[in-house]
Amino acid sequence: MKHLTVDVAIIGAGSAGMSAYRAARAHTDKVVVIESGHYGTTCARVGCMPSKLLIAAADAAHAVDGAHRFGVLAAPAAIDGQAVMRRVRGERDRFVGFVVDAVQGWPDEHRLVGHARFLSPHELEVGGHTVVTAGRIVIATGSSPAVPAGWREALGERLIVNDDVFAWDDLPESVAVAGPGVIGLELSMALARLGVRVRLFGRSSRVGPLTDPVVAAKARAIVESTVATSLDVERIEPVRDGDRVRLRWLEDGTRHEEEFDFLLAATGRTPNVKGLDLQRAGIEVDAFGIPHADRHTRRIGKSHIFIAGDAADEQALLHEAADEGRIAGDNAGRYPDTIVRPRRTPLTVVFSDPQIAIAGESHAQLLQRGADFASGGASFDDQGRSRVMGRNLGQVQVYGERGTGRFLGAEMIGPDAEHIGHLLSWSAQHGLTVQQMLDSPFYHPVVEEGLRTALRALKEKLALPQPPLADCLDCVAAPVV
């Protein structure tokens, strides 16, 4: 058994772990990053990037199929599944290559391969070959797809998770998708547009992360018009039938049955902390075995251990993981001094079509904290630029604080939500009022004019005093479609 002593040990070389490594090295060169799997982040290998490659192919097919609406006559899109997946895998491998090259560029003594587990608060056993003694430790082990009990045993290779999709050589004929969250929504809509027969299953009426009842209802209607759905299923019973999956489910009191090539379990992700033997680390964990850290320091209690990224089971988003890794690595490097770091305004984007965005505080979060707020909304169904592009589907709801007029957040489904979401999150982070947002430029004709309609409706709901005309650029603006 080898022995290694370092100032900082980082478990995991994903987005959070890589950021932690760079931050810790600003304070000490006695750092080691421990990784038990392949180098290459979840985002690059099986998450953000390959899923967007599949969605890009689906968008191209959808554009061809809808060209006739503009007087452009074309045959229906012919999908070459092998070519689609060849590009997805090729570009995915390119993105993974950048990550692998970055890690391989680190000094050899900073990389250690093997599964890590705690022996004591300061000791880690790695791969049965090395004991690492570390002054501080950063847990950045990521997460893995969660699969309902019994499904894998019943279905074998006919049960897949999102990781498996990007290993396909060709597109299948049919896929059942369990879970209408972000992953299930993106993949089910993309596969359906690429000619795969898809049925999306859920246990409630919600689709994606939306919490505003107006936006959520609109989103459900849009999804149901695009993909075959069963979103109020009481129970799903999957069984193996040769090379097929036979699904039986109960919906509205009626039993249904259908066969598919695969069942894709998009039923959430679980933090990879189970095999760390955290009970030996001297830190507290919750009922699920997950330690919780201060959001602004990433320190677990008063210990020398920090946690970042998906392992913390907070916001499983790359930019959040990178920020958390940077905070954790910096504080681990400078320990026992720790710095309280600001956090960015929350921003979530779902690359469905139309896209979904939540910027700032969600409707549910505002209700939970008892905020005194009002909301204003607008539909994109008749919005000028959206109709011009033939992408006129969606709804936006914006929230403002009564009394101050401060903008608090928004939820939306609609065209270009990925871009509008950024504008809204920036506005929330900088503490703008609804009036200040309305006084900002809105070009014509643009999709953002739909947002302005919602902000005007919110301003009326807030019943704020009308500012002097000289100070209010929007007060005399003519309505624009």
Q: What is the pLDDT of residues 152-182, one digit of tens each?
A: 999 999 999 999 999 999 999 999 999 999 9
Q: Over the stretch 298-354, which tens digit does the pLDDT of each residue have?
A: 999 999 999 999 999 898 899 999 999 999 999 999 999 999 999 999 999 999 999
Mean pLDDT for 406-423 is 98
Interval 234-248: pLDDT, tens: 888 999 999 999 999
Is it the case that residue 475 has pLDDT exceeding 70?
Answer: no
Q: What is the pLDDT of residue 133?
A: 98
Residues 6+ apart with CB under 8 A from 198: 174, 175, 176, 177, 188, 191, 192, 227, 228
The closest alpha carbon to 207, from 237, 234, 227, belongs to 227
Q: State both tokens at 358.
A: 């939540």
pLDDT at 473: 67
Question: What six digits make up the tokens of 419?
Answer: 């871009």
Hey, what are 250's tokens? 């109960």
pLDDT of 283 higher than 70: yes
What gap in Å lies between CA 271 and CA 274, rounded to an integer? Answer: 8
Tell me what pLDDT residue 466 has: 73
Residue 474 has pLDDT above 70, yes or no: no
Q: Residue 234's pLDDT is what?
A: 84
pLDDT digits (tens, 9 = 90+) for 426-443: 999 999 999 999 999 999
> Is the Cβ–Cβ distance between 302 and 336 less than 8 Å?
no
Question: Which three-class secondary structure state does DSSP give residue 394?
Answer: coil
Coil/strand/helix, residue 47: coil
Residue ranges with strand state E in 123-261? 123-126, 130-139, 143-145, 159-160, 174-178, 197-201, 228-230, 233-241, 244-251, 254-260
In the chain, the percentage of residues whose pLDDT exceeds 70 is: 97
Residue 45: the pLDDT is 83
Given its phi and psi angles, is residue 179 left (phi above 0), alpha (psi -120 to 50 degrees) or beta? Answer: left
Coil, strand or helix at 389: helix
Give the count of beta carbons closer than 10 Å to the beta carbon of residue 97. Answer: 12
Distance (Å, whole) CA 72 – CA 318: 39
> How confident is the prediction for the chain on average, in pLDDT?
94
CA dist 455 and 463 (Å) reads 12
Flag whether pLDDT at 480 surpasses 60: no
Q: What are the residue ranges spanned by the domains of the chain?
A: 2-145+270-334, 151-267, 347-471
CATH 3.40.50.920 fits 2-145+270-334, yes or no: no
The residues, any chain, with a CB within 8 Å of residue 363's CB and separated by 6 or more, are 211, 212, 213, 215, 375, 397, 399, 409, 411
58, 107, 187 from 51: Cα distances, Å? 11, 32, 7
Q: Are 335 and 311 in contact (CB under 8 A)?
A: no
* Amino acid at site 282: G
User: Given this model, what pLDDT does residue 326 score?
Assistant: 98
The predicted pLDDT at position 75 comes to 76
Q: What is the mean pLDDT of residues 381-407?
A: 97
Cα separation of 214 and 454, whole Å? 13
Segment 183-226, tens digit of pLDDT: 999 999 999 999 999 999 998 878 999 999 999 999 999 999 99
Q: What is the mean pLDDT of residues 107-128?
A: 97
pLDDT band at 469 (very low <50, low <70, confident <90, very high): low
Q: Is the pLDDT of residue 478 over 80?
A: no
pLDDT of 14 reads 94
CATH of domain 151-267: 3.50.50.60
- pLDDT range class, residue 477, cuts 50, 70, 90: low
Specify the long-range contacts of residues 22-28, CB closer than 8 Å, at least 24 apart. 22/326, 22/329, 23/325, 23/326, 23/327, 23/328, 23/329, 23/330, 23/333, 24/138, 24/329, 24/330, 24/332, 24/333, 25/333, 26/330, 26/333, 27/330, 27/333, 27/334, 28/333
Please tell me the predicted confidence (pLDDT) of residue 94: 94
CA angle 94, 99, 105 (to 5 degrees): 120
The reported pLDDT for the residue numbered 470 is 62
Per-residue model confidence (pLDDT) at position 380: 98
User: 347-471 belongs to which homologous superfamily?
Assistant: FAD/NAD-linked reductase, C-terminal dimerisation domain (3.30.390.30)
One fold for 2-145+270-334 and 347-471: no
- The model's confidence at residue 46, banded by pLDDT at 50, 70 and 90, is confident
> For position 471, what pLDDT does the model report?
64
Residues 27-44 have pLDDT tens digits of 999 999 999 988 878 888
